[in-house]
Chain A
Amino acid sequence: MKKLILQQPGRIASSSGSVPDVPVSGVLNQDMEWLKQHYVRCSDLIYRHITIGGHQHRQAAVFYFDGMTDSSVVHDNILQPLLLDAEIAENDAETEENFRNFFEYLKERLLPAGEITVADDLKQGAQAMMNGDVLLIIDGCRQAIVIDAKGFPQRPVGKAENEVVLRGPQEAFTEAMRINTALIRRHLRTNQLKLEEKTLGRYTRTQVAIVYLDGVANENIIAEVHRRLDNIKDVDSILDSSCIEQYIEDSPFSVFPQMQYTERPDKVASSLLEGRVALVVDGSPDVILLPLMFVQLLQSPEDYYTRLAPGTFMRWIRYMGLLIAILFPSLYVAVTSYHPEMLPLNLLLSIAAAREGVPFPAFVEALIMELCFELLREASIRLPGAIGNTIGIVGALVIGDAAVSAHLVAPQMVIVVAITAIGSFTVPSMEASYPIRLLRFPLMLLAAGFGLYGVALGVMAILLHLVHLRSFGFPYLEPLAPLKLNEMRDVLIRAPRWQMMVRPQFREPYRKNTGILERGFWQRRVQPLKQKGDDSRGEQ
């Protein structure tokens, strides 16, 4: 019987809509050969030639990657229906209409997978296999069927390890993008939550989702994100979200981060509600939030889960911690070296007595201790859990004590370094701790050279840089500079939630007002603007 090759796709639409690079030929052996050659020397490629329903004129082949697919889905939802459950009449005439009906039958009724698409390009089908899907090629058909059977190994949703809070949600993102987007969608159950996907990296083909709230986020930011991501489509690889950051940030040479990372879905949700945009990268448990203001690096989700007074207090502790972490060693060096007259007499005598016999000047002392601390910190990260903790504690205690006993450093210097370290640990964002660690050293050098004047010069240089820095076009120091008084309620204090009813203005949100609130003794009515097709819950 003459083999029929379905010439026209007919009602079956191509999923890509573009001219295929390697069109599905419809000749099974030819297509199989192409795929085998395409993935030559790939031992994890699995293919199987089958006869659908035992009907000799219904030959097909199934291709997938071992380890990327869920084998139970492959066996139970693909192979079993095709081999055993397909109902095809023995005397089914080989006509185009029958063939088309057969294809529809396969696609619409036989295969119980959650997502099925068609591909008229073998390359497109091959790429789908790399994503964990199964490719079904049918003899005589110029289209292949892509069946969702993803089952690659992934880490379960666990606790946030780097952003620990005492109160509030504890779950954290994983490396699977779809799980991460699901975690975000659990917090924002609205059709305004948009996810636009891109594929980046020539070899890694990494999926990146641009997540934002339609009608809340600034359209200019969204467009700019698209533009910058499109500019990096041809890079070799995107292995982590930090790769994307380095490609698209405004000032790559600045020590300050211009985007924020988080592993917490609740933080992403609250940031989206403020009008920011999130980038979820497949293979990375860190989600990027942009744009970023400096003050946001000092905010923790826990601030908003506690009451006004403790939230404000914790925030001010963090501000103090930041200042101590950057300035304390340099101030100590400056005051002891250049301006001892500033110290009260008793304190001065105590310091002088303790420093007696120490052969190094204050700057060298500080440098040695800070470098030792950085070495210990780095070592404790690299070592496995228990050993790392032990090394950290033992190293700090033993080395500090030994150094003082050997008169290499003064006891006050150990205290200075310890307090500096504790101050740096109060900063909630890991990416904010790097500039603190880096900037401490030039400030110490300036203090050694010029005393308090040198420290002031260094601080001014840092401030000038921060004033000039932008994050996706927005001033980094906002709302401090430019000063926006109505946004300071979330900077100077952590204002009560019922007072924070207006979104940050610097993102020019389309809907500034967030709803109607009644508190009995205090009532504020705001009129939400009309939203297109909004079916979000809880909004009036």
Chain B
Amino acid sequence: MLPVLLIQENGTAGLLAIVPGLAVGILILLVCTFWRNRCEETSFPQSLQMLLGKPAGMVTTFLFLLLYLLFAVFCLSSFVEVVHTGILKETPRILLLLPVFLLAGWLAWNGLEDIARFTVLAAVLAVLLLFLTVTGSIGSFQMKNLLPLQIHSPEKLIQSIGYSSFSYSMFLVMFMVYPALPQKKGIAWQMPLAAALSAALFLLWVLLALGVFGQFSMEQLIWLPLELARMIQVSAFLERTEALFIAIWLPVVLANSGLLLWAASEAAHQLLHRQKSRWLHWGMVAIAAVFSIAIGNLLQLFYLEQALAAIIAGFVPLLLLAILAATLLYSRKKAGRKGGQPS
């Protein structure tokens, strides 16, 4: 499940803003599947060099690597910020940050197979979380909050679209995951299915939040899981359970950030043509951790989110189109070469 937790000033237009994000996510998955079917024999960095030329391919790979790292930084930093803000206000932020980076780095180091297995466990918890949240906040849910689409200003709408696109752009990690999957039929369709499930869960979360808070209140919120957790009340016995629910978010965050760190590490290894290197992997994790520590507060995190959203909105669609076009050309050349071979 996509763990984008920061939603400040992104509730404008509610349902309308969700649609572009979904479209971006679907586009990424389609391009990725198309590319993989046409370029089965290579990894993503090699494929980029083949499709776009060596210099452009290497630069693009590096940009992807940076994106993965920044996504991981954002994912972990925002989670730690939730914990720091909502639960452990007096604990130094660095003490909260370092353990999650260690765990995410360890998960990434163990490889894709372990990430997949861990994600299965995390998915069970994510569904449980959703179920408990729905059950606990169903009393506050109102259908009418979902319906009106009031657009406050074009700038806020654009901002919301950017945020929504950013939420689903984490699917870019599929470009690294697909080539690493075993060439079995069952696996090939399980990946997009898993991605679709993740997107659906995230969508349900956003819809639930919209239904509970409404568009106007959502604009004022900062941390979606925290706010939803605060709404949960089961009779007079179970309430103020945000600490428990935030803790249960950890496996979801770890699974996603572990995958992002793995993708970044794998991209770095393939870019530098290195075998699995402890130093390279943990060096990158350390860089990500240092960058996270440098993001000292919520405001800087918010700026990072806005910067990433802007990059995603401007860069990713163009990149996807470039990959699509190059893949088409490549597959036509390949088909032409096969047709021209003597029998």
Contacts and interface: CB of A to CB of B under 8 A. Distances in A.
Interface of A: 338-339, 341-342, 344, 450-453, 455-457, 460-461, 463-464, 467-468, 475, 477, 480-483
Contacts of A481: 117-118, 120-121
Contacts of A456: 247-248, 250
Q: Is the interface of B mostly helix, strand, loop or mixed?
A: helix
A482 to B, nearest CB: 6
Interface of B: 83, 87-88, 91, 95-96, 99-100, 103, 106-107, 110, 114, 116-118, 120-121, 236-237, 239-241, 243-244, 246-248, 250-251, 254
B236 A344 contact: yes
Contacts of A461: 103
Nearest to A334: B243
A482 B194 CA distance: 14
A-B pairs, top 4 by smallest CB distance, nearest first, are A481-B117, A456-B247, A341-B240, A452-B247
19 contacts: A339-B87, A341-B240, A342-B239, A342-B243, A344-B236, A450-B88, A451-B243, A452-B244, A453-B246, A455-B247, A457-B99, A457-B103, A457-B250, A460-B254, A463-B118, A464-B106, A467-B117, A467-B121, A481-B120
Contact of B116 (A342, A451, A482): A482
Given A450-B95, A467-B117, 12 more contacts: A342-B244, A450-B91, A453-B87, A453-B88, A453-B250, A456-B247, A457-B103, A460-B103, A460-B254, A464-B107, A467-B114, A468-B114
Contacts of B99: 457
B309 to A, nearest CB: 28
A460 B91 contact: no
B247 A453 contact: yes
B87 A464 contact: no
Nearest to B237: A344
Contact of B117 (A344, A451, A455, A477): A477
B289 to A, nearest CB: 15
A387 B117 CA distance: 48
A483 B120 contact: yes
Given A467-B118, A481-B118, A457 B244 contact: no
Q: Identify which of A344, A460, A467, A477 gathers the most chain B CB atoms within 10 Å of its CB.
A: A460
Nearest to B245: A452
A15 B327 CA distance: 69
B119 to A, nearest CB: 9
B10 to A, nearest CB: 25
A235 B121 CA distance: 41
Q: Is the interface of A mostly helix, strand, loop or mixed?
A: helix
Given A344-B236, A453-B88, A468-B110, A460 B117 contact: no
Nearest to B117: A481
A87 B237 CA distance: 95
Contact of A457 (B100, B236, B246): B100
Given A451-B243, A452-B243, A460-B251, A475 B103 contact: no
A338 B96 CA distance: 15
B244 A453 contact: no
B47 to A, nearest CB: 28
A464 B106 CA distance: 8
Contacts of B251: 460, 463
Contacts of A463: 118, 121, 251
A450 B236 CA distance: 27
B212 to A, nearest CB: 21
B103 A482 contact: no
Given A342-B244, A467-B121, A451 B236 contact: no
A463 B106 CA distance: 12
B120 A451 contact: no
A341 B233 CA distance: 13
B103 A464 contact: yes
B201 to A, nearest CB: 17
Contact of A460 (B240, B244, B250): B250
Contact of B110 (A339, A453, A464, A483): A464
Nearest to A331: B244
Contacts of B103: 457, 460-461, 464
Contacts of B88: 338, 450-451, 453
Contact of A451 (B87, B95, B100, B121): B87
A502 B193 CA distance: 28
A211 B99 CA distance: 45
A482 B250 contact: no
Contacts of B106: 464
B196 to A, nearest CB: 17
B83 A453 contact: yes
Contacts of B110: 464, 467-468
B246 to A, nearest CB: 7
Contacts of A451: 87-88, 243
A338 B86 CA distance: 12
A514 B291 CA distance: 58
Given A464-B103, A468-B110, A482 B120 contact: yes
A339 B95 CA distance: 19
A437 to B, nearest CB: 23
A344 B251 CA distance: 27
Contacts of B241: 342
A505 to B, nearest CB: 13
Contacts of A339: 87, 243-244
Given A338-B243, A453-B246, A464-B103, A482 B254 contact: no
Nearest to B111: A468
A388 to B, nearest CB: 40
Contacts of A468: 110, 114
Nearest to B254: A460
B290 to A, nearest CB: 20
A452 B87 CA distance: 9
Q: Identify which of A338, A452, A468 gathers the most chain B CB atoms within 10 Å of its CB.
A: A452
A477 B119 CA distance: 13
A457 B80 CA distance: 12
A363 to B, nearest CB: 15
A453 B96 CA distance: 9
A475 B110 CA distance: 13
Contacts of B239: 342
Nearest to B246: A453
A480 B116 CA distance: 12
Contacts of B248: 456
A471 to B, nearest CB: 14
